[in-house]
Amino acid sequence: MTLLSVDNISVEFTTRDGRVEPLNGISFDLDDGEIVGLVGETGSGKSVTAQAIMGLLPFLDGKVSQGRILFKGNDLLSLSEYEYQKIRGNQISLISQNPMTSLDPVYKVGDQIVEGLRLHLDITRSEAAKKAVAVMTSLGIANSEKVFSQYPHQLSGGLKQRIVIAMGLCADPKLLIADEPTTALDVTVQAQIIALFKKTIQNRHMGMIMITHDLGVIAHLCDKVVVMYAGTVVEKGSVSAVFNEPGHPYTSSLLGCIPTFGMAQKTLNAIPGNVPSVRTFPSGCRYHPRCLKARPVCVDHSPETIRAPNGTQVKCHMFSPDWSKDHEPVG
Amino acid sequence: MNPLVDVQHLSRFFSLTGGLLQRKIGEIKAVNDVSFAITKAESLGIVGESGCGKSTLARLVLSLIRPTSGHIVFDGQDINRMGKKQLRTLRARMQMVFQDPHSSLDPRNSIYRSLEEVFKIQKKNTPKKQIIERIHQLLGMVGLKPEHCRAYPHQLSGGQKQRAVIARALVLVPEFMILDEPTAALDVSVQAQIILLLQELGEQFDMTYLFISHDLALVDYFCQRIMVMYLGKIVEITPSNLSLQQPAHPYTQLLMDSVFAADPNVRKIIPSLEGEIPTPFDLPRGCAFENRCKYARSICKEHSPELLEIHTGKFAACHFPLI
């Protein structure tokens, strides 16, 4: 069953320099028990997507300008702030990148989990404490009763991130959004946390959106992947299709950028140019200035999203029937 | 052939003070009896997790901080015995590129002024016209345009800033460069550009690199030899191209297993880890990796293993190496 359906949303921010549009026409679906990866570089709009789903866009100057976000069939954008608060943290949880900014340094970690629990569930403090310890134990925290009454600075980075995950999971949400949850961690700890996510999502049969710039994490953890570039979705599909036969030129170039074991003899495949910032998104296809296959049509017209031969949804002129030979490559 | 950089039994301990009288209550052994050598035109990688001492080691090699004990010999000269003046001349031959290009550049200086400063510090009295020519040439070398001279750091992207930092490091034509996580703050597509640039410059100038990173796959790609550190000690030195060989130390194996390849066909089971990483303040008597190692036996608790050559060019500090 479709748990979350993000349907053609765009987000606008009003800044001192005028309006900018960090998200333009994003769509993707997520089923129960499924892990979807959002992958992209700086400024691709991954985190803004998470904020839009959570209803956490900056109140005064950011808004969803079009589209719908359906969670279990209900449009989240039509909710009042009060109704949103009942869903946020209860049905949908967010885990952010740096565990230290999610935890208050002057409160014991256990009390911080209990606070969230009692906000959403009608239970006593001691019941909440019991539940918190149980969730902490299920996340592989050894002697969780001792950790319960410790302060954040007494814990290692990996342990802190486990506490933040426990905070996200303790109210039994249906959807977990993790925004770069392992970027601040060491590789061996990252591997542990990723394994933990995988196990937890399977056991609880919930949905998860994994936001990361690390294609390795996506390949290992996710069922589906949404590749974002400069505020648009350039390709989406099953992980095996996107990684094995990438359709969009950006996806295949990005995969060529990553060093892997056994490529010491080969050379890396850099993408020329820079990641555009939100104020200077190019015209037409936003990837065209860096694309090796770009033609005049890419400069002027934004491509439609269509089905590529590999089965993924691709936003590229290359797969349209009009991509005829009389268009000469740019430059 | 004599090595360009020869590090012998290098240690650096930081003392930890506490209490009302700020008495010394302990020592952090950031770098603990480390020896290695880098030959000319070689790139040696240092890999390890946070707190393993890799950045302290880099600072020691450049004599930015003084060692507690041990020697660093650069091209036959012991750099810790040098006076200030000698050291300044020597520093022209060794340069460092840091992780965050933004904090490496003075926000109030244009790129031109940041590069020009190097000539002034070295007191070379180069005529201005030559300086301008040289700076334009350097910017071209790292893939920037002459008009970037007038730009201020905030006007450049992260990749462009790192290029400017590399250009500045090249001003004095160094023989030896330390790269401390030079791409950790950059996007993957830009990381690839910078890595290719560094490889190209390395070939062009016969550059010797010491490349520090937490990314084992990247180091494996960039370097000829890899040195793995754990809590201030070297646990393994191995030729690169790890896909073709079995690592000797269980920690290297763990690091390799923790790298996710961007390939859904090789999903692996992650071994669950027992034990926390000990703090460098409270090191165990035996092997530091003993409490996380699945091959550990009683001797590992008692005696710290020596770094021994187990194959030609392959060193490991382990009582029971995997090969």
* Tokens, residue A144: 């969780």
CB spacing of A190 vs B258 below 8 angstroms: yes
Instruction: Let me know if residue B323 belongs to a domain.
Output: no
B233 and B117, same domain (yes or no)? no
Which DSSP state fits A179? E
- How distant is the Cα of B129 from the closest Cα of chain A, in angstroms? 30
* Tokens, residue B201: 């410059």
C-beta separation of B32 from B317 below 8 A: no
- In total, chain B counts a number of residues equal to 323
- How distant is the Cα of B217 from the closest Cα of chain A, in angstroms? 5
CB spacing of B260 vs A186 below 8 angstroms: no
Torsional sign, CA B293, B216, B98, B122? positive
CB spacing of B188 vs A186 below 8 angstroms: no
Provide the residue ranges of all domains of chain A, joining segments of one domain with +.
2-91+173-319, 100-172
Own/partner pairs, A197-201, CB within 8 angstroms, 24+ separation: A197/A35, A197/A165, A197/A221, A198/A35, A200/A138, A200/A139, A200/A165, A200/A169, A201/A33, A201/A35, A201/A176
* Tokens, residue A68: 């719908």
B169 and B190, same domain (yes or no)? no
d(CA A114, CA A122): 12
Q: Domain A2-91+173-319, CATH 1.10.3720.10 — does that match?
A: no
B115 and B72, same domain (yes or no)? no
* Tokens, residue A13: 């921010």
Of B242, B265, B268, the CB nearest to A261: B242
Radius of gyration in angstroms for the set of CA atoms belonging to chain A, rounded to a whole number = 21
- How distant is the Cα of A197 from the closest Cα of chain B, in angstroms? 12
Q: What is the pLDDT of residue A328?
A: 59
CB spacing of B192 vs A269 below 8 angstroms: yes
Global ipTM: 0.86
Residue A235, classed as helix, strand or coil, is: strand
Instruction: Let me know if residue B12 belongs to a domain.
Output: yes
Strands of the sheet with B69-74, listed across from one edge: B23-38, B5-18, B69-74, B77-78
pTM for this entry = 0.89
Instruction: Let me know if residue B190 belongs to a domain.
Output: yes
Range of the domain at B211: 5-93+174-316
Of A243, A258, A274, the CB nearest to B159: A274
Torsional sign, CA A213, A218, A223, A229? positive
d(CA B235, CA A117): 45
B133 and B179, same domain (yes or no)? no
Residue A284, classed as helix, strand or coil, is: coil
Residue of A nearest to B279 (CA): A156
d(CA B56, CA B212): 11
Q: What is the pLDDT of residue B315?
A: 95
d(CA A2, CA A215): 25
What are the pLDDT tens digits along chain A (331 aa)? 899 999 999 999 988 888 899 999 999 999 999 999 999 988 899 999 999 999 988 766 788 999 999 999 999 999 998 999 989 989 999 998 888 888 999 999 999 999 989 988 899 999 999 999 999 988 888 888 999 999 999 988 888 988 999 999 888 899 999 999 988 888 888 888 898 899 999 998 999 999 999 999 999 999 999 999 999 999 999 999 999 999 999 999 999 998 888 766 678 888 988 888 888 899 999 999 999 999 999 999 999 999 998 899 999 999 888 886 555 555 4
- How distant is the Cα of B55 from the closest Cα of chain A, in angstroms? 15
B192 and B253, same domain (yes or no)? yes
C-beta separation of A69 from A23 below 8 A: no
- How distant is the Cα of B201 from the closest Cα of chain A, in angstroms? 15
CB spacing of A194 vs B270 below 8 angstroms: yes
pLDDT tens digits, residue range B202-236? 999 999 999 999 999 999 999 999 999 999 999 99
Give contacts of B238 with chain A, Cβ < 8 Å: none
Which residue, among B9, B121, B2, has the nearest Cα to B68 in the 3D structure? B9
d(CA A158, CA B85): 46
CB spacing of B262 vs A140 below 8 angstroms: no
B195 and B76, same domain (yes or no)? yes
Instruction: Let me know if residue B117 belongs to a domain.
Output: yes
Domain boundary at B173, B188, B223, which?
A: B173
B67 and B113, same domain (yes or no)? no
pLDDT tens digits, residue range B121-177? 887 788 999 999 999 999 999 999 999 999 999 999 889 999 999 999 999 899 999
d(CA A249, CA B220): 27
Residue A295, classed as helix, strand or coil, is: coil
Residue A100, classed as helix, strand or coil, is: helix
What is the number of domains present in chain B?
Answer: 2
Instruction: Return the CATH number at B276.
Output: 3.40.50.300
B30 and B137, same domain (yes or no)? no
d(CA A117, CA A98): 21
List Cβ neighbours of B83 (8 Å cut-off, separation of 6 or more). Answer: none
Q: Which residues of A223-245 are buried (b: 16+ CB within 10 A; e: fewer)?
A: bbbbbbbbbbbbbbbbbbbbbee
Chain B interface disruption, residue of A139, A186, A190, A292, most B CBs within 10 A: A186
Domain boundary at B117, B146, B173, which?
A: B173
Rounded to a whole number of angstroms, the distance between the first and last alpha carbons of chain B is 29
d(CA B164, CA B115): 8
Instruction: Let me know if residue B242 belongs to a domain.
Output: yes
3-state secondary structure chain B: CCCCEEEEEEEEEEEEEECCCCEEEEEEEEEEEEEEEECCCCEEEEECCCCCCHHHHHHHHCCCCCCCEEEEEECCEEHHHCCHHHHHHHHCCEEEECCCHHHHCCCCCCHHHHHHHHHHHCCCCCCHHHHHHHHHHHHHHCCCCHHHHHCCHHHCCHHHHHHHHHHHHHCCCCCEEEEECCCCCCCHHHHHHHHHHHHHHHHHHCCEEEEEECCHHHHHHHCCEEEEEECCEEEEEEECCHHHCCCCCHHHHHHHHHCCCCCHHHCCCCCCCCCCCCCCCCCCCCCCCHHHCCCCCHHHHHCCCCCEEEECCEEECCCCCCC
Chain A interface disruption, residue of B260, B265, B268, B281, most A CBs within 10 A: B260
- How distant is the Cα of B188 from the closest Cα of chain A, in angstroms? 6
pLDDT tens digits, residue range B44-85? 999 998 888 998 999 999 999 999 999 999 999 999 888 888
Sort residue B253 into left (φ over 0), alpha (ψ -120 to 50) or beta.
alpha
Instruction: Let me know if residue B66 belongs to a domain.
Output: yes
Chain A interface disruption, residue of B259, B263, B292, most A CBs within 10 A: B263
pLDDT tens digits, residue range B4-26? 999 999 999 998 887 778 888 88
Domain boundary at B173, B202, B221, which?
A: B173
C-beta separation of B280 from B53 below 8 A: yes
Residue of B nearest to A265 (CA): B221
CB spacing of A41 vs B189 below 8 angstroms: yes
Give contacts of B242 with chain A, Cβ < 8 Å: 261
B169 and B180, same domain (yes or no)? no
B110 and B148, same domain (yes or no)? yes
C-beta separation of B304 from B290 below 8 A: no
Q: What is the pLDDT of residue A1?
A: 81
B178 and B159, same domain (yes or no)? no
CB spacing of B259 vs A261 below 8 angstroms: yes
Give contacts of B235 with chain A, Cβ < 8 Å: none
CB spacing of A254 vs B189 below 8 angstroms: yes
Q: What is the pLDDT of residue A330?
A: 54
pLDDT tens digits, residue range B246-270? 899 999 999 998 888 888 888 777 7
Give contacts of B200 with chain A, Cβ < 8 Å: none
Of A42, A216, A267, the CB nearest to B259: A216
Which DSSP state fits A88? B
Of A240, A244, A268, the CB nearest to B196: A268
Tell me how crowded residue A323 is: count the other CB atoms within 10 A of its CB: 15
Of A253, A255, A277, the CB nearest to B262: A255
Of A191, A260, A262, the CB nearest to B270: A191
Instruction: Let me know if residue B321 belongs to a domain.
Output: no
Instruction: Let me know if residue B245 belongs to a domain.
Output: yes
Of B189, B195, B215, the CB nearest to A275: B189
Q: What is the pLDDT of residue A329?
A: 59
C-beta separation of A24 from A282 below 8 A: no
B54 and B148, same domain (yes or no)? no
Which residue, among A277, A236, A252, A253, has the nearest Cα to A38 in the 3D structure? A236
Mean pLDDT of chain B: 90
Give contacts of A260 with chain B, Cβ < 8 Å: 217, 221, 261-263
CB spacing of A271 vs B262 below 8 angstroms: no
Q: What is the pLDDT of residue A323?
A: 81
Q: What is the pLDDT of residue B276?
A: 67
A261: Cα separation from own chain's centroid = 26
- How distant is the Cα of A156 from the closest Cα of chain B, in angstroms? 9
C-beta separation of B244 from A124 below 8 A: no
